[in-house]
Structure 1
Amino acid sequence: MCLIAFAWHSHPRWRLLLAGNRDEFHARPSTALARWDDAPITGGRDLEAGGTWLGVTESGRCCVVTNVRDPRDPQLGVSRGLLATDYLTGSAGASAHAQELLRSAASYRPFNLLTFDARDAFYLGNRPESRAQAVTPGVHGLSNADFNTPWPKTRALMQHLQHWVDMGDDANFAPLFAALADEQVAPDEQLPDTGIGLERERRLSAAFIRGEAYGTRASTVVAIGHDGRGMIVERRFGPNGSFEGETMLRFADSSPT
């Protein structure tokens, strides 16, 4: 994923409400949202490395990963997509997993990771150093920088999500998908300087990126209730933002909460 906003324990129905966009080269092969045959995961699948950028389980666990934008980093190490599958197929809760991952986080390509279970949520990253922090209740955002870094598109999506929470809605996700589809480019004075040049900073400042070779491949909303029941909705896009389909899957917690 490249843009995420989520509400953690701040909605009467949903313990987690997450909205995010996956931006990627269109030529990189992946599968659509589905229940995996070989693992207890529901999510899309990167066919190049075998992992996922966002996934959930029937027990109400969720994990999402982004890269870190730094053209000076050699991007060496274990695929960050495996971080999500390892958490979702493992038995450790978010807290225990965070402490365990800290020991090997430096061996992965630059990443930001969010993990959620029935009780806890954690942010983990490995640039510039490995670190982990518990997520507090409220609305948070993440892109290709540190947790809650106020990039314009991250801040805007957080505001949309906060408004959705404040309105008391619980099932109409159309406003969230509309926010994820926003192609507004941020003013130059608000752009971060991540070393990729002004023209690319402008292009990547929109929530939804439309391009022939690179752009937004999927917009996803995850909603997990306090009872563990939930749903995940994915809208997929091809080159130049062409709509390729939508999938909605429900899941139910099979363990006591």
Structure 2
Amino acid sequence: MCILFFKLDVNPPTDGYKLILASNRDEYLDKPTKPASWWQDHPHILSGLDMRKGRVGGTWLGISKEGRLASLLNILQPQLDRNAKGRGPLVRNFIKSDVDCLPYLQEIAKEGQLYNGFNLLVMDLPRSNSIPQIGYYSNMSGKDPELLTPGIHSLCNAIIDKPWKKAIVGKRKFEEIVNSATKRTEEKLVDQLIEFLNDDTPHPEPQINIQCNGELTLKQQQERSAVCVKSPDLRCGSRTNTIILVNAANKVKYVERTLQEPIDIENLKWLRNNYDFNLSSASSSY
């Protein structure tokens, strides 16, 4: 269970942002994860990493100094195919490559049936004044990969054409925040977006139970209907918040707030990592 909101402006004001992105990674608390850092084998790429046996090195969201960005959200389904291909490399491979968004997704679509359900978002944010590319593909939609128009979008654990209520309601709140982004400092904008990502207000959604063939209790459905998922009974929930800001001058701020491992559900401890860099050079701080 994950959710992502973003605004892409191809012609931002000088004090504005080319990209504002806010994302929650929802996952079981016992799955080992490396907090966001620069990759050792590709030091121009920044992301958190899956550290599970057999899945080491996969990721759900990342960005490169060259402006390559990708995010993967699973589609909620009642039965997972344990023999399906791992989805983590779908993000990793795009960020490492220099293939345009649509051709990359078209290659993935050729073997889309080999994976469990997913939404895949890919972006190329050029340092020049050329128009950024945004590509989207879901192997559960029955549609070909497509290019999205700039603007405000939201994705959750359903296909983009049938969003859950929390994605619809959250998109409106996200729009309010980002449309007044220049009225506050960068730090206050980040704090407001993190507060937004931690809203656990339920937005009842029948589709959640339908996608699970009625296997969830009413309580579990309510937990999953919020932007911030908290499900202590199943030991899962929104364990990582990520904010990515790219201003008009191509300066990037990457902020990750994530649960410290090992995770004690009775005594949650959070880590916050901040990275500030340009699309041509980078430095990090903690």
Is the TM value for this pair above 0.5? yes
Aligned counterpart, 1:139: 152
Aligned length: 255
SS of structure 2 residue aligned to 1:231: strand
Unaligned runs of 5+ in 2: 126-131, 282-286
Counterpart Cα distance in 2 of 1:163 and 1:76: 43
SS of structure 1 residue aligned to 2:221: helix
Residue 50 of structure 2 corresponds to residue 46 of structure 1: yes
Residue 230 of structure 2 corresponds to residue 210 of structure 1: yes
SS of structure 2 residue aligned to 1:131: coil
Change (3 A) 1:114 1:240: farther
**How many Å apart are 1:229 and its aligned residue?**
2.5
**How many Å apart are 1:91 and its aligned residue?**
1.6
SS of structure 1 residue aligned to 2:211: coil
Q: String of CA shifts for 1:145-171, please: whole Å, max 9, x gaps.
A: 001533122122211221122214372
User: Could you tell me the TM-score, scaled by structure 1's length?
Assistant: 0.90
Pairing partner for 2:179 from 166, 180, 186:
166
**How many Å apart are 1:190 and its aligned residue?**
8.7
Residue 200 of structure 2 corresponds to residue 183 of structure 1: yes
Residue 271 of structure 2 corresponds to residue 245 of structure 1: yes
Identity fraction in percent: 27
CA RMSD after TM alignment: 2.3
**How many Å apart are 1:140 and its aligned residue?**
0.7
Deviates more, 1:169-178 or 1:155-164: 169-178
Does structure 2 retain, via aligned residues, the 8 Å contact 1:106–1:129? no
Unaligned runs of 5+ in 1: none
Residue 24 of structure 2 corresponds to residue 21 of structure 1: yes
User: Could you tell me the TM-score, scaled by structure 2's length?
Assistant: 0.81
Does structure 2 retain, via aligned residues, the 8 Å contact 1:211–1:241? no
Does structure 1 retain, via aligned residues, the 8 Å contact 2:106–2:144? no
Aligned counterpart, 1:223: 245
Does structure 1 retain, via aligned residues, the 8 Å contact 2:141–2:159? no
Deviates more, 1:80-89 or 1:223-232: 223-232
Counterpart Cα distance in 2 of 1:191 and 1:111: 15
Change (3 A) 1:86 1:191: closer
Does structure 2 retain, via aligned residues, the 8 Å contact 1:68–1:112? yes
Q: Where in structure 2 are the equivalents of 1:122-137 lying within 5 Å?
A: 122-129=135-142, 131-137=144-150
Aligned counterpart, 2:124: 117
Counterpart Cα distance in 1 of 2:198 and 2:6: 16
Change (3 A) 1:240 1:142: farther
